[in-house]
Chains A and B, each alone.
Chain A
Amino acid sequence: MWQIITNEWRYLSRTKSLLVISFSFIIILLAAAWLGYKQNKVHEKNYAEAKQYVRAEWESIKEMNPHGAAHYGTYVFKPTQVLSGLDDGVNAITGNVLRVEGHVQNEMVHSEASQMQSVSKFGKLKGALLLQYIVPLLLIFLSYHAINSEKQSGRLKMLIFQGSRLRTLVVGKTIAIWLYGFSLLLLTILVYLIFHAATMHTDVWLRTFLLLFSYSVYYFILCGLTLFLSLRIQQAAVALTCMLTLWVVWSIFMPNILQSAVSAWHPLPSRNVFKQAMKEDRSKGIDGHNPSEEREKEFRKEVLAKYGVDSVEKLPINIDGLLMQADEEYGNIVWDKHFGELRNTLAQQKQSYQLGGIINPFISLQNASMGFAGSDNYHHQHYLLQVETYRRMFIKMLNDKHAFGGSKSGDWDWKADNAFFKSVPDFEYQESPIQTSLTLYLTDIAWLLFWFTLVFILLLFGTHKLTVL
């Protein structure tokens, strides 16, 4: 086996055209790794500057009514994940700036895609684009003729006569070509990690390992399947056409078709319908029988009773702050209900999409790649939830200050001082641990391993009835 692998590598290293192609590929991959790093650095710099600027703006508020400050609001920014420079995932379309203010839960804005000068179907040049689409093509081109060339040249007879088994030959060649793809993958990721050496930590190492693992398994599936087809189909050109067709179906058509099917099975409400439903629930009450005016009246009564007074003017606190907080909390319940449903639908979509891995390992690879790079929809949702938690804390602090800071009900001119605004904590994003990603993407890993086993069995037993002639 080892001799066969070594011999294949000598072929790869001594064939000029392949050397040129390999060298070009390495340059492109390294360029993609470098660009990913630079883009991350630019994003990190912008993130740090914007965060600092917005915080400085907030802390520079000398005096302001807390409710006014709640409307003045602040901005939070989505930080960069170390590995998102390799796989940008959904980041380019989800946006990275969120406005935090009272009454409303804002949507993400300033997506990178919306700000790009040039529009490209494939987006920015990232390592994942090459590793998912181009390297597999190269592996297919290297594999499709590997056995046919031996057979057509008559060498296969000689190899068999020297004691080499067809099975060993096929597995050896598969491993050799897979190693080629793995080397390109390893080189790209290593270089990328060297660039990011300063920001590496255990979680990122684990994520990197899982990325490597997922891509490696996928490459083996492709190499093995191409070699198997090359064995089964006499004409190399037909074998190549079959594998290219499979590549197109797997990488381009099927993900789109499956995505559309999944969206149809688990439909998401349109943005307008969603917003309208939230607005109605907030004004009319979740059950439709508890309008905001009624809720307000009830709440006023409760507050007056609590403080043992018969009018708002006699309250030692500012009821407006409490009313606003009560409305806010009702809004939170509405948000939790609607976004909870939305998240459930998204989770159902994701789970259904993941099932596609049984017929298409590319889907599993793409899922796992985004998931382990931390640029998938789950990480985005994780970020949004943290922002919403922060927003609630932020608004509550302002409302509490409005209510208990010393003003009286109806006094909208009362102002909190600078010390208070400085005491409001800034948003700090806590990254999702790798264990969560692993749990979420276990299905994809399982499908990749299923395909790996299937291809390995095909290679081992698919040579059984083959003739050398």
Chain B
Amino acid sequence: MIEISQVSKSFKGQKVVNNLTLTVNEGEIVGLLGANGAGKSTTLNMVLGFLTPDAGNISINGLDPQRQTQEVRKQIGYIPENVNLYPYLSGLENLDYFCSLANIAYTKNQLTDFLLQCGLQENAWHKRVGTYSKGMRQKVGIAIAYAKKAKVFLLDEPASGLDPLASNELSDLLKKLSGEGASIIMASHDIFRVKEVCHRIGILKSGNLVKELRSKDVSANELEQVYLAYMKN
């Protein structure tokens, strides 16, 4: 469970996140929509513990990311917009390496199973990541977070640059993860993907959460209209 309570953050006197309150329950996917500079990435970085909020509190399953950094990090799976893996290692080796950093030892079969579940085809497992497409790297990135058995996932523009098939596979995977009880925040520009995957959607503008709605209450077109209305105002 992710709890963000009245959190604010400024850079050089400019408020980037303003009094943000948001809760993501277990098994829930919350999408954060917003233009560039709306405060999505800053919010994620505060949840990740890389930035300290100027005001307010953040809690990950009852733990404070600033004070209990290592414990929190064990529970979080983070997937950036561009998953940059080691190009000289294969997908399987990358997964093995990142798992070993988390002190998790998997057998080769278990590792390949993670890759398979994240949609990476068998013929790519042993190829060097330097030859991968962005979607394939993204899948390995998700496999890394998945293999970590994270309870909380933070995704920063995860579908950016993915082809429709890869995007669809990503959506399925996220739904699967939430079905297993994970709390997920997904920051994105992609209104239709967010509508399709998320249970709740928040619209951020200039650091303010200007609108929060349930995905099932709106159609994709309606969501787009709402979003554009807020962006134009």
Interface residues of A (CB under 8 A from B): 3-4, 7, 10-11, 14-15, 153-155, 157-164, 467-469
B101 lies within 8 A of A3 (CB): yes
B141 lies within 8 A of A469 (CB): no
The docked-state distance in angstroms from the alpha carbon of A469 to that of B48 is 11
Residue of A nearest to B45 (CB): A469
Return the 10 tightest CB-CB contacts between A and B, nearest first: A153-B84, A162-B101, A14-B88, A3-B100, A162-B102, A164-B101, A163-B102, A161-B78, A162-B98, A155-B84
B56 CB-CB contact with A under 8 Å: no
Interface residues of B (CB under 8 A from A): 45, 48, 50-51, 70, 73-74, 76-78, 80, 82-86, 88-89, 93, 97-103, 141, 144, 148
Closest chain-A Cβ to B32's Cβ sits at a distance in Å of 18
Chain B, interface SS category: mixed
Contacts of A159 in B (CB 8 A): 98, 101
Contacts of A14 in B (CB 8 A): 88-89
Closest chain-B Cβ to A30's Cβ sits at a distance in Å of 26
Contacts of B78 in A (CB 8 A): 157-158, 161
- How many residue pairs link A and B with beta carbons under 8 A? The number is 60
A161 lies within 8 A of B89 (CB): no
Contacts of B50 in A (CB 8 A): 157, 467-469
List, sorted by A's number, 11 A–B pairs whose CB atoms are closer than 8 Å. A11-B88, A14-B89, A155-B85, A157-B50, A158-B144, A160-B73, A162-B98, A162-B99, A162-B101, A164-B101, A469-B50
Closest chain-A Cβ to B17's Cβ sits at a distance in Å of 15
The docked-state distance in angstroms from the alpha carbon of A163 to that of B48 is 13
The docked-state distance in angstroms from the alpha carbon of A467 to that of B98 is 21
Contacts of B93 in A (CB 8 A): 10
The docked-state distance in angstroms from the alpha carbon of A164 to that of B84 is 16
Contacts of A163 in B (CB 8 A): 70, 73-74, 101-103
Closest chain-B Cβ to A158's Cβ sits at a distance in Å of 7
Closest chain-A Cβ to B188's Cβ sits at a distance in Å of 17
Known: A3-B100, A14-B89, A157-B50. 11 other contacts (CB 8 A): A10-B89, A15-B88, A155-B85, A155-B86, A158-B83, A158-B84, A162-B101, A163-B73, A163-B102, A468-B50, A469-B45
Contacts of B51 in A (CB 8 A): 469
B102 lies within 8 A of A158 (CB): no
Residue of A nearest to B74 (CB): A163
Contacts of B99 in A (CB 8 A): 162
Contacts of B48 in A (CB 8 A): 157, 161
Given A158-B144, A161-B76, A467-B50, A3:B84 Cβ within 8 A:
no
The docked-state distance in angstroms from the alpha carbon of A163 to that of B141 is 15
The docked-state distance in angstroms from the alpha carbon of A157 to that of B48 is 9
Closest chain-A Cβ to B214's Cβ sits at a distance in Å of 30
Closest chain-B Cβ to A387's Cβ sits at a distance in Å of 58
Contacts of B89 in A (CB 8 A): 7, 10, 14
Residue of A nearest to B85 (CB): A155
The docked-state distance in angstroms from the alpha carbon of A162 to that of B100 is 9
Residue of B nearest to A161 (CB): B78
Given A7-B86, A162-B148, A157:B70 Cβ within 8 A:
no
Residue of A nearest to B103 (CB): A163
Residue of B nearest to A468 (CB): B50
The docked-state distance in angstroms from the alpha carbon of A468 to that of B51 is 9
Contacts of B100 in A (CB 8 A): 3
Residue of A nearest to B93 (CB): A10
B80 lies within 8 A of A3 (CB): no
A7 lies within 8 A of B97 (CB): yes
Closest chain-B Cβ to A241's Cβ sits at a distance in Å of 25
The docked-state distance in angstroms from the alpha carbon of A158 to that of B50 is 12
The docked-state distance in angstroms from the alpha carbon of A468 to that of B44 is 14
The docked-state distance in angstroms from the alpha carbon of A161 to that of B83 is 13
The docked-state distance in angstroms from the alpha carbon of A7 to that of B87 is 12
Residue of B nearest to A159 (CB): B101
The docked-state distance in angstroms from the alpha carbon of A11 to that of B86 is 9
Contacts of B73 in A (CB 8 A): 160-161, 163
The docked-state distance in angstroms from the alpha carbon of A10 to that of B103 is 19
Residue of A nearest to B100 (CB): A3
Contacts of B76 in A (CB 8 A): 161
Residue of B nearest to A160 (CB): B73
Given A3-B100, A163-B73, A154:B84 Cβ within 8 A:
yes
The docked-state distance in angstroms from the alpha carbon of A138 to that of B84 is 26
Contacts of A15 in B (CB 8 A): 88
Closest chain-B Cβ to A151's Cβ sits at a distance in Å of 11
The docked-state distance in angstroms from the alpha carbon of A14 to that of B77 is 29
Contacts of A153 in B (CB 8 A): 84
The docked-state distance in angstroms from the alpha carbon of A159 to that of B50 is 13
The docked-state distance in angstroms from the alpha carbon of A164 to that of B144 is 14
The docked-state distance in angstroms from the alpha carbon of A161 to that of B186 is 17
Residue of B nearest to A16 (CB): B88
The docked-state distance in angstroms from the alpha carbon of A102 to that of B85 is 78
The docked-state distance in angstroms from the alpha carbon of A332 to that of B167 is 94
Closest chain-B Cβ to A307's Cβ sits at a distance in Å of 92
Contacts of A164 in B (CB 8 A): 101
Closest chain-B Cβ to A392's Cβ sits at a distance in Å of 67
A158 lies within 8 A of B98 (CB): yes
